[in-house]
Amino acid sequence: MCCGFASLARRATTDAFGHVEAGKMLVMLDRGDYWQCAYVIAKRRDRRGQEQGLDAFRDSVVQMSPFLADRIGELKAGMTSSS
C-alpha cells in the first residue's frame, strides 16, 4: 500500500529524499512549492496500521525521519492514497 501526501516542508538542498527500513519506505520529491511524499507499507502491515489510526501513522513517519516532526501535523485524515 502507498499513502501519498503533500507537505509544505521547508526547502531542502536536494530534490529527492528516501528512507528505507524493513517493511516500509518513505520517499519525498521536491515539487517547488511543496514536497510530494509517498510512504510505502508492506501489505501485511496495512490492516494493523489502519486500526492504529492517524496519530500512530504520524509517529511512524517521524520515527523514520525525525526532521518532519514540526510539520507532521499537516498530514490530515482523508488525504489521497493508492494501493
Quickly tell me which residue has 518513505 as its cell: 26
Determine phi and psi for 31, rounding to 5 degrees: -105, 15
Query: For the chain, which residues make up each domain, given as ranges?
Result: 2-71
Residue 82 scores a pLDDT above 50: no
Over range 4-15, report the average pLDDT. 54
Q: Does 15 or 49 have the greater pLDDT score? A: 15
C-alpha cell at 57: 501513522
Q: Is the pTM of this model over 0.75?
A: no
- Computed from CA positions of residues 9, 45, 47, 55, in that sequence, does the dihedral angle turn out positive or negative? negative
